[in-house]
Amino acid sequence: MTDAINKAMTPLEWGLLLTLSVLWGGSFFFVGVAVDALPPFTIVVLRVGLAAVALQLLLLVMRVRLPNGRRPWAAFFAMGLLNNLVPFCLIVWGQGHIASGLAAILNATTPLFTVVVAHMLTVDERLSVGRLLGVVAGLAGVVAMIGPELLDGFDLGALGQIAVLGAALSYAFAGVYGRRFRRMGISPLATATGQVTASTVLLLPVALLVERPWTLPLPGAEVWLAMLGLALFSTALAYVLYFRILATAGATNLLLVTFLIPISAVLLGALFLAERLAPAHILGMALIGLGLAAIDGRVARLLAITLAGRRRSAAS
Specify the higher pLDDT residue, 316 or 241.
Answer: 241
Q: What is the DSSP letter of 69?
A: S
Q: Which CA distances in Å does 2 have to 23, 117, 252?
A: 24, 21, 10
Give the structural domain span for 215: 11-315
Q: Which CA distances in Å does 169 have to 111, 116, 188, 304?
A: 9, 10, 22, 32
Please report whether residue 42 resides in a domain: yes
pLDDT tens string 103-148: 999 998 988 888 888 888 887 777 788 888 888 888 898 888 887 7
Whole-number Å distance between alpha carbons of 248 and 9? 9
pLDDT above 90 coverage of the chain, percent: 45
Number of domains the chain is built from:
1
Q: What is the DSSP letter of 213?
A: G
Confidence band for 4, pLDDT divided at 50, 70 and 90 = very low
Whole-number Å distance between alpha carbons of 279 and 277? 7
Taking the model in full, what pTM does it have?
Answer: 0.85
pLDDT tens string 278-316: 888 888 888 988 888 887 777 677 777 777 777 777 776
CB 182 within 8 A of CB 1: yes
pLDDT tens string 205-231: 999 999 999 999 999 999 999 999 999
* Window from 51-60, 83-92, 145-154, 228-237 with minimum mean pLDDT: 145-154
Please report whether residue 1 resides in a domain: no
Please report whether residue 122 resides in a domain: yes
Please report whether residue 2 resides in a domain: no
Please report whether residue 143 resides in a domain: yes
